[in-house]
Amino acid sequence: MERLTATPPGVALAPLAAVADGAARNFVLEMKAGRFHGFVVRRGDAVFGYVDRCAHIALPLAHQLDDYLTPDGRLIRCHWHGALYRIEDGACVGGPCPGTRLIPWPVAVVDGMITTA
């Protein structure tokens, strides 16, 4: 099955309350064209979504489910090689991939529900 890097808009993922403020959550969507792996980071009422693939080497970022953030919750980290990314824009700010970014996954909060955008 092909691993996808995009999803159609308007797919309801979960209530905003299902992702704790300051935490991240993994989502896997099965579609006809293949499987999509992404994650969402919540900051208050805002959500930031990314394809679950390191910009350094195309591996999933987390070793454990939903474990995408540094211990202080300030950055996204790749557990394989220590790459660090800003939550707000996915830009690499540390590790082996300067000048690169995570692939954004457009998401939004609509009526209290996290949806693809």
Please compute the mean of the pLDDT values over residues 37-52 and round it to a whole number.
Answer: 98
Q: What is the average pLDDT value for the chain, to the nearest integer?
A: 96
- State the pLDDT at residue 1: 67
pLDDT, tens digit (0-9, with 9 covering 90-100), for 49-63: 999 999 988 899 999
Q: pLDDT band for position 108 (50/70/90)?
A: very high
- Residues making up the chain, counted from first to last: 117
Secondary structure tally for the chain: helices H, strands E: 0, 10
Span 108-116, average pLDDT: 98
pLDDT tens track for 73-97: 999 999 998 999 999 999 999 999 9
2 pLDDT band (50/70/90 cuts)?
Answer: confident
Closest by CA position to 20, among listed 49, 48, 5, 41: 41
51 Cβ contact partners less than 8 Å away, ≥ 6 residues apart:
5, 36, 37, 38, 102, 103, 104, 105
Options 2.102.10.10, 2.130.10.10, 3.90.1300.10, 3.40.1110.10; which CATH number does 3-116 get?
2.102.10.10
Q: How far is CA 20 from CA 37, 81, 86, 92, in A?
A: 19, 26, 18, 24
How large a percentage of the chain has pLDDT more than 70? 99
Task: Indicate the domain borders of the chain.
Answer: 3-116
